[in-house]
Amino acid sequence: MSKPEKKKKRILLKIGSNTLTKESDQLSRGKIEDIGRQIAALKDDYEFVIVSSGAKVVAKQFVNLESDYKDINVKQALTSIGQPHLIRIFQESFRELGLLASQCLLSYSDFEKEVSRENIRNTIDILVENEYIPIINENDTVATDEIQFGDNDKLAALTAALLDVDLLIIATNTNGIYTKESFREGTPETIEEVDDFSLLKKEVVDDDKSTHGTGGMSSKVMALEIANNANIETWIVNGLEDNFILNTLNKDTAFTKIE
């Protein structure tokens, strides 16, 4: 008799704009390839769903709109231009590694109706069963919540809760969440593990927003609360590092774990 197929653990990976650009003004194909190589190395034991920002950054590489980039409608136009390029880059980079990628655009209203929620679950399950990696972003042309504040943090948490994933990894530009005192003294010290979520809120530094994204650490705390209420284990990791997924799974780097 053949052995029953081992059930893979499902990871939802959220990648912010700062991670995808490696804190530059250009999308980093090297970072997308780095993510793809790690997924390929882990695909026997893990299945991945990705929530990715970066559409506006990509658009700015192709167009120069004669408008105020801070205007919400201009940001929506930029994401409309950049999203097809972003998914193409993911698909091209992943295809070279033997991986398949698909695009899923979601709005917050999709999470409010049970029929829509069920459709999301079913669609993503079918994609993953057929070895496609869903690349999720907010449908910014009709929704503005994350484009104004959040950089897809909340979207990632809602999706993780809906799919009941085994692990939510939020890739950012810090080694997890730092203690407030150490951050103010200029010697950031990572909070390695959080058992009491209420205590985490008191420690988090309400920092400035990232260079390209719209969320600082405070927006991540909002997302963490959603995941925590859904009993989803969450890790805040430094996505700027090469091999950050593998290093975190192997406990070879500093990160924050919220149970």
CATH code of 61's domain: 3.40.1160.10
In degrees, to the nearest 5, what angle opens at C-alpha 101 toward C-alphas 164 and 93? 130
Does residue 30 fall inside a structural domain?
yes
The Cα–Cα gap between 17 and 9 comes to: 26
- Whether the Cβ atoms of residue 183 and residue 160 lie closer than 8 Å to each other: no
Does residue 1 fall inside a structural domain?
no
Does residue 223 fall inside a structural domain?
yes
The per-residue pLDDT string of the chain (259 residues; one tens digit each, 9 = 90 and over) reads 555 667 899 999 999 989 999 988 889 999 999 999 999 999 999 999 999 998 888 888 877 765 555 667 777 888 888 899 999 999 999 999 999 999 999 988 889 899 999 999 999 999 999 999 999 998 855 555 544 445 689 899 999 999 999 999 999 999 998 888 888 888 888 999 988 887 777 776 555 444 444 445 667 888 899 999 999 999 999 999 999 999 999 999 999 999 8
Does residue 181 fall inside a structural domain?
yes
Does residue 4 fall inside a structural domain?
no
Count of domains in the chain?
A: 1
Does residue 119 fall inside a structural domain?
yes
Does residue 166 fall inside a structural domain?
yes
The model's pTM is 0.89
The Cα–Cα gap between 221 and 216 comes to: 9
**Residue 206 DSSP code:** -
For residue 193, give its domain range. 9-258
Does residue 248 fall inside a structural domain?
yes
